Amino acid sequence: MARDWVQFIRGGRVVRLRAFQPRGTLLDWLRLEERSTGTKEACAEGDCGACTVVLARRRDGRLVYEPVNACIALVGQIDGAELITIEDLADGGPLHPVQQALAERHGSQCGFCTPGIVMSLFAHYHRPDRTGDRATVADVLAGNLCRCTGYRPIIDAALESCAGAAADRFAQDAPRRLAALAELDDGADVRVGDDASFFAAPASEAALAALLAAHPDATIVAGATDVGLWITKKLAPLAKIVHVGRVAGLDAVEDRADALVLGAALPLARAAPLLARLDPDIGELMRRFGSEQVRTSGTVGGNIANGSPIGDLAPVMIALGATVELRRGDTVRTLPVEDFFIAYGKQDRAPDEFVRRLIVPKPKPATRLRVVKISKRMDEDISAVMGAVALTLDGDHAAEARIAEARIAFGGMAGVPKRAAAVEAALVGARLADPAVWRTAAALIADDFTPLTDQRGSAAYRSQVATNLVVKILAEIAGVPADVTRVRPREERARVAS
């Protein structure tokens, strides 16, 4: 079954688009076609949140509300969803509780950022696990900048409106809206356009493989958190786009005894709690992985497949010994994640091949994992240096243990994320609790990496940071109190979680 239109719900009606630019963004469609100008354009790169809208989807028999940056989301990506914007909340009636609280708490001055803030809080309002906790609200708003109001009244309004919130009209109308979304879920392959220019969203792996075989020059899009910037910043003339978000089973999760298997199209937001169970450090990394809007759209497979040397997942996957599974036609192959990256901008993937799954080994009892992200700001920032260290110890007591195996990976230190081979070699067989070993091994960072200088840090800075991180992490694993390595030390986060 196939159709030549994209369909979604907007304001209670079904919208069917049969003609649009494959690279057209959701924000452009809203502002230029719908004339829904309440959703604002500012950064056009998914950082400021002014363009935040909410997509409601049917998942596991219930409605889920997810914030999305409309400036980098493609209009074709929202097939099968209900699109909710700032214009829909009051719809001529009383203000939504979030809007009312912001008005009463004086949570807006110039107002340009306010629609996006409202929509982020609206999504949080509908979460079954929402809390009135200030730190949680701060995380929810990490992707929404406000330069003139200040966050204190905004957070106060969020705490007031979301804590113990009553069902709004959207929740009261949930059965009808669920039924309407179910009718859109037809399992059809979608393709709008012709052979020269199209937006396609296959519904099965077989259809995806066949489409890429016929059009190896097509651009594969998962969440568009990277490709969206090719469009808005590089003005890339992408004529053929293949969206993998509708491929059945490509977001599946398999929790094995020894490994976590994540479908490539699994959004980061849904992967985060699964990865956090492997180790608290990964949970903290995922909390700082972009913003709510980015984690809702971006995928685990996309973060690996784009080959970025500063992608946050790659060093962790390499340190854990993860493998990536790829498919081309009917052929499926696997290779270690560390071997997937060949050089800057080059990966071991054929043009018509796609990332299918990530197989992530679970840390063994003797393994000690540490993950540290260094960036200029705490929230929603790209790493300057990203380090992941996995040590397998031979011995139960850190003071006496020796290092049986070391896997150390860094991002931001080369054209690709890669292992610190010389550092690893210096550690294997050494006594963990020997500070001289830490310093000797850390000094070998200069042999393993030749970093570049860019806006996020100089080469000298990056080398020094990585060197310091090796010492810090080894000291922490050896039992030295660590209150400097992270903003919130690992032990404190464990107490808070419990």
Could you report the per-residue pLDDT of 402-444, keeping only the tens digit for each? 999 999 999 999 999 999 999 999 999 999 999 999 999 999 9
Is the pLDDT assigned to residue 91 strictly greater than 90? no
Last residue of a domain, one of 167, 200, 226: 167
Single out the residue of 371, 85, 392, 351 nearest to residue 219, CA to CA: 351
What tens digit of pLDDT does each residue of 112-164 get? 999 999 999 999 999 987 777 888 999 999 999 998 888 999 999 999 998 87
What tens digit of pLDDT does each residue of 174-213 get? 999 999 999 999 999 999 999 999 999 999 999 999 999 9
Q: Within the chain, what is the greatest distance between any pair of CA atoms?
A: 71
Q: Look up the CATH number of the domain holding residue 239.
A: 3.30.43.10
What is the DSSP secondary-structure string of 240-303?
Answer: EEEE-TT-TTTT-EEE-SSEEEEETT-BHHHHHHHHHTT-HHHHHHHHTSS-HHHHHH-BHHHH
- Looking at the fold, whether 277 and 221 belong to one and the same domain comes out as no
- Looking at the fold, whether 356 and 383 belong to one and the same domain comes out as no
Phi-psi map region of 387: left, alpha, beta (phi>0 left; psi -120 to 50 alpha): beta
Which residues does residue 25 pair with via DSSP β-bridges, in sequence order?
74
What is the DSSP secondary-structure string of 474-496?
Answer: HHHHHT---SSSSSS-HHHHHHH
Structural domain count, the chain:
4
Asked, for residue 135, whether it belongs to a domain, the answer is: yes
In the chain, % of residues over pLDDT 90: 84
Asked, for residue 404, whether it belongs to a domain, the answer is: yes
Which pLDDT score, from 0 to 100, does residue 95 have? Answer: 94
How far apart are the C-alpha atoms of 31 and 289, rounded to whole Å? 29
Asked, for residue 71, whether it belongs to a domain, the answer is: no
How far apart are the C-alpha atoms of 180 and 80, rounded to whole Å? 10
Q: Look up the CATH number of the domain holding residue 336.
A: 3.30.465.10
Asked, for residue 173, whether it belongs to a domain, the answer is: no
Single out the residue of 313, 318, 280, 317 nearest to residue 476, CA to CA: 280
- Looking at the fold, whether 415 and 472 belong to one and the same domain comes out as yes
Is the pLDDT assigned to residue 484 strictly greater than 50? no
Last residue of a domain, one of 311, 333, 361: 361
Last residue of a domain, one of 315, 333, 361: 361
- Looking at the fold, whether 379 and 278 belong to one and the same domain comes out as no
Average pLDDT over every residue of 38-48: 93
Q: What is the pTM of this model?
A: 0.92
Strands 259-263 and 354-361: antiparallel
Asked, for residue 432, whether it belongs to a domain, the answer is: yes
Residue 235 belongs to what domain range? 189-243
CB-CB neighbours of 76 under 10 Å: 30
Asked, for residue 65, whether it belongs to a domain, the answer is: no
Higher pLDDT among residues 381 and 88, named by residue: 88
